[in-house]
């Protein structure tokens, strides 16, 4: 493993540092490093590996498609792309339209261009939330409410006004008739798995309706069953104007989507936006396999049940370093009383569990949606000793 990490350091740009583990293969919810050590994967490729690793349905779909038609560009139509767009619109219960991309940042870039195109020149700014994360490309980064990663790359060609996440009063004050859109995550992912307060998204919908601003929901991490429903906003009983998806949609294959509801679905004209690889047949086939498997195997109910088991097990750990647990479904944050998340991540890894130290006092868990109760209990039973070692 050390040899591969040295080669990585010598050949790859240093923005990731050198990751501590070199992975060789995976099966189900487990992965193995190049030295043969096994780990229970509780990160899931950052909420990406919906069906775990080497899932037969995903392998079969990708194998069949790559052996038939792997790439067409956007100059031609293909069946998997049309079927996937139709399926997403059906799950979202909208008459809108879908634009496919390769990643979450690209989905948010498309959403930003879409609302600019729809809003016209009289609406000059957008509103986003402190602590938000929408991507690292320049448009998505301009929308990201984390100064530490945004400010080194400014100035941006966008007027973005940030408000405290969860404050209805601040949102109402910030959104006027000159506001083009409000960008929000139903749960702030990179911010530490912070759910919106009850009623906040509904209030955001009302404020946008009153002012004519678009409501854009970034469900890149929260979508595709992660919280126990197809899309987290559905639990709130609201409809956005635009939604962005990625991560879990492809189960490991690179795909994202920007979905415009109603008239927002037709705001782009011919030539307004594009992507050479976006919505390629292989990634679309993978996404269809993910959606079919979630539906066929009843994974939404499974996520809810096993997610509660995970949360309850964490809460029962009873260690002074544990402040609490938050989140929903299989998207949880272990909140610490001290800035020891790096130590907890290392201790968990030594014990055979991969977790993510997302903030100095927060550990993120986003395991595959297929994780079993026994696998969850194996982690929660080990957690007290992990915390003790940290």
% of the chain residues with pLDDT over 70 = 100
The pLDDT score that the predictor gives to residue 2 is 79
User: Are 187 and 214 members of one domain?
Assistant: yes
User: Are 243 and 370 members of one domain?
Assistant: no
Tracing tokens 């997610």 back to the chain, one arrives at: 307
Residue 10 to residue 295: CA distance in whole angstroms: 44
pTM of the predicted structure, to 2 decimals:
0.96
Q: How many domains does the chain have?
A: 2
Under the banding of pLDDT at 50, 70 and 90, the label for residue 1 is low
User: Are 113 and 62 members of one domain?
Assistant: yes
User: Are 368 and 382 members of one domain?
Assistant: yes
Q: Check which CATH number belongs to the domain holding 318 and give it.
A: 3.90.1150.10
Under the banding of pLDDT at 50, 70 and 90, the label for residue 360 is very high
Q: Check which CATH number belongs to the domain holding 166 and give it.
A: 3.40.640.10
End-of-domain residue from the set 296, 331, 353: 296
Catalytic residue status for 133? yes
Answer yes or no: are the C-beta atoms of 246 and 220 closer than 8 Å. Answer: yes
The mean pLDDT value of the chain amounts to 97
End-of-domain residue from the set 259, 276, 296: 296
Q: What is the DSSP letter of 269?
A: P
In the set 41, 99, 100, 133, the catalytic residue is: 133
Under the banding of pLDDT at 50, 70 and 90, the label for residue 113 is very high
User: Are 63 and 10 members of one domain?
Assistant: no
User: Are 18 and 67 members of one domain?
Assistant: no
> Over the stretch 70-102, which tens digit does the pLDDT of each residue have?
999 999 999 999 999 999 999 999 999 999 999
User: Are 26 and 97 members of one domain?
Assistant: no
Catalytic residue status for 146? no
In the set 41, 162, 183, 218, the catalytic residue is: 218
The pLDDT score that the predictor gives to residue 121 is 84
End-of-domain residue from the set 275, 296, 317: 296
- Name the residue range of residue 282's domain: 58-296
| Burial of 3 (C-beta count, 10 Å sphere; 0-12/13-18/19+) | exposed
Catalytic residue status for 340? no
User: Are 251 and 381 members of one domain?
Assistant: no
User: Are 275 and 373 members of one domain?
Assistant: no
Q: What is the DSSP letter of 231?
A: S
Specify which residues 331 forms β-bridges with.
328
User: Are 340 and 275 members of one domain?
Assistant: no
In the set 100, 162, 241, 247, the catalytic residue is: 247
The residue-averaged pLDDT of 41-59 equals 98
Under the banding of pLDDT at 50, 70 and 90, the label for residue 170 is very high
């Amino acid at each position: 493993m050390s040899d591969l990490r040295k080669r990585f350091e010598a050949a790859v740009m240093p923005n990731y540092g050198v990751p501590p583990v070199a992975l060789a293969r995976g099966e189900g919810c487990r992965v193995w490093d190049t030295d043969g050590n096994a780990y229970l994967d509780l990160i899931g490729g950052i909420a990406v590996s919906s069906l775990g690793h080497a899932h037969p349905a995903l392998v079969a779909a990708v194998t069949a498609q790559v052996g038939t038609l792997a790439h067409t560009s956007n100059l031609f139509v293909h069946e998997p792309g049309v079927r996937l767009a139709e399926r997403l619109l059906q799950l979202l219960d909208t008459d809108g339209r879908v634009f496919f991309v390769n990643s979450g940042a690209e989905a948010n870039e498309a959403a930003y261009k879409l609302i600019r195109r729809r809003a016209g020149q009289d609406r000059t700014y957008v509103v986003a939330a402190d602590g938000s994360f929408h991507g690292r490309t320049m448009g998505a980064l301009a929308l990201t409410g984390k100064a530490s990663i945004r400010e080194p790359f400014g100035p941006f060609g966008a007027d973005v006004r940030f408000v405290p996440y969860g404050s209805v009063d601040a949102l109402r004050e910030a959104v006027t008739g000159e506001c083009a859109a409000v960008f929000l995550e139903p749960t702030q992912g990179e911010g530490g798995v912070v759910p919106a307060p009850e009623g906040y998204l509904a209030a955001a919908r009302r404020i946008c309706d009153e002012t004519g601003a678009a409501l854009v929901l970034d469900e890149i991490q929260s979508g595709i069953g992660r919280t126990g429903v197809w899309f987290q906003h559905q639990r709130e009983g609201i409809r956005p104007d635009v939604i962005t998806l990625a991560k879990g949609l492809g189960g490991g294959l690179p795909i994202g989507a920007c979905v415009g509801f109603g008239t927002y679905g037709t705001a782009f004209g011919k030539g307004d936006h594009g992507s050479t690889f976006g919505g390629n047949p292989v990634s679309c086939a993978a996404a269809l396999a993910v959606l079919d498997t979630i539906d066929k195997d009843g994974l939404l109910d499974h996520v809810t049940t096993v997610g509660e088991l995970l949360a309850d097990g964490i809460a029962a750990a009873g260690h002074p370093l544990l402040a609490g647990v938050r989140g929903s479904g299989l998207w949880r944050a272990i909140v610490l009383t001290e800035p020891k998340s790096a130590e907890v991540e290392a201790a968990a890894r030594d014990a055979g569990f991969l977790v993510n130290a997302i903030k100095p006092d927060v550990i993120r868990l986003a395991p595959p949606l297929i994780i079993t109760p026994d696998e969850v209990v194996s982690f929660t039973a080990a957690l007290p000793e992990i915390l003790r070692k940290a």
